[in-house]
């Protein structure tokens, strides 16, 4: 379809799997970049954001292996890299959904601004700017949030891993056919 810009983000969720084959993950990214780079105006890759904390420390070596690969991939294919991983603001829990894996609307807005600026376009604002100070919830509220997270997101995630299922199993594709993009009518 000769797109002007294509963003390719992948592999981060795979690094969270206990038995991930990083060679396969990197191979799939290499294959995708090899197909996309020559067929678009500009390929954009990302060093995805990651939250800090004891759980993430276990996966950090894999994440960094992935991001080193992304950097090399960009060099081989003339792609740009948006470094979200190194942005402290994206560690702010207020930019993350309750599932602690996906960004909120404000988090996505900042990522879009980061891509925009990486493309060399004029900045609307500083996507790296910290959020306004907020009131930190007390210990009991944070533990309640942790329990709710575990009940609604962590335990089901573990259950899917144990049974070999994915959260996407059985869901229909949003756009099952490759069609040109038509902007919505005003």
Q: What is the CA radius of gyration of the chain?
A: 18
Stretch (H or E) spanning 83: strand 80-83
In whole angstroms, what is the distance from residue 156 CA to residue 101 CA? Answer: 14
One digit per residue, the tens of pLDDT, for the chain of length 186 reads 789 999 999 898 888 887 899 999 999 999 999 999 999 999 999 998 766 666 678 888 898 999 999 999 999 999 999 999 889 999 898 999 998 888 999 999 999 999 999 999 999 999 999 999 988 889 999 899 999 999 999 899 889 888 888 888 888 988 888 888 778 887
DSSP letter (8 states) at residue 72: H
Residues 54, 13, 168, CA angle at the centre, nearest 5°? 130
Integer Cα distance of 87 and 66 in angstroms: 17
């Amino acid at each position: 379809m000769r797109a002007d810009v294509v963003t390719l983000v992948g592999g981060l969720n795979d690094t969270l799997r206990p038995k991930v084959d990083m060679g396969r993950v990197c191979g799939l990214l290499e294959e995708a970049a090899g197909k996309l780079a020559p067929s678009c105006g500009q390929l954009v890759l990302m060093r995805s954001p990651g939250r800090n904390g004891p759980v993430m420390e276990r996966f950090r070596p894999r994440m960094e292996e992935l991001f080193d690969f992304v950097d090399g991939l960009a060099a081989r294919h003339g792609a740009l890299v948006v470094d979200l991983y190194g942005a402290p603001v994206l560690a702010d829990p207020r930019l993350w959904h309750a599932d602690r894996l996906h960004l909120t609307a404000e988090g996505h807005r900042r990522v879009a601004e980061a891509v925009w600026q990486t493309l060399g376009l004029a900045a609307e604002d500083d996507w790296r700017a910290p959020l306004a100070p907020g009131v930190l919830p007390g210990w009991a509220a944070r533990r309640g949030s942790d329990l709710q997270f575990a009940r609604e997101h962590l335990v089901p995630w573990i259950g899917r891993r144990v049974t070999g299922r994915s959260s996407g199993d059985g869901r229909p594709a949003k756009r099952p056919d490759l069609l040109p993009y038509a902007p919505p009518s005003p």
